[in-house]
Amino acid sequence: MSRKFIGVITTAFYFVISPLAVFAANATANQGLGPGPAGVVQLQEIVQRLINFIVPFAFILLTIILIVAGIKFLTSGGEAKPIAAAGQTITWALLGMLFLILAWLILMIIQAFTGVEVTKFCIGFPGAGTCPNP
């Protein structure tokens, strides 16, 4: 047989026969053997977990940057360039912390005035633990 014929047969197998096996397997795949497919509720949970991870991580990272910049400032030896670089880093780290705190305070003020939990991510499908049940 020629290589071209083998290539055609292989392509036919991958694109015609393989999906049939997958569809046949999916017909009986979820009969109490594990969780079903992910949906919108799981997407809500993932986004909420990302938000709950990123905000404290950013604050911790800014604190570490502030400490490292302070150490660079102390070990600069009185030279102008390292002092200016450390001063800029300290300024940006403090501004980052200020913006994080201001964003949180603004969200809390909005929540206090409207009564809507703006720190919870909810597309509108209750049951994820992040959305209130109707």
**pLDDT tens, position by position, 81-116:** 999 999 999 999 999 999 999 999 998 999 899 988
Mean pLDDT of the chain: 78
- Residue 1: is its pLDDT beyond 80? no
Enter the tokens of residue 75: 């070990």
Which one has a higher pLDDT value, 117 or 102?
102
pLDDT at 26 (0 to 100): 52
Which one has a higher pLDDT value, 78 or 95?
95
pLDDT at 45 (0 to 100): 82
pLDDT at 98 (0 to 100): 95
Identify the helix (H) or strand (E) that includes residue 20. helix 18-26
Cα 103 to the center of its chain, rounded Å: 18
pLDDT at 92 (0 to 100): 94
- Distances 66 to 61, 77, 119, 124 between C-alpha atoms, Å: 9, 18, 27, 39
The helix/strand/coil state of 98 is helix
pLDDT (average), residues 46-69:
91
pLDDT at 61 (0 to 100): 94
Q: Which residues of 9-47 are buried (b: 16+ CB within 10 A; e: fewer)?
A: eeeeeeeeeeeeeeeeeeeeeeeeeeeeeeeebeebbee
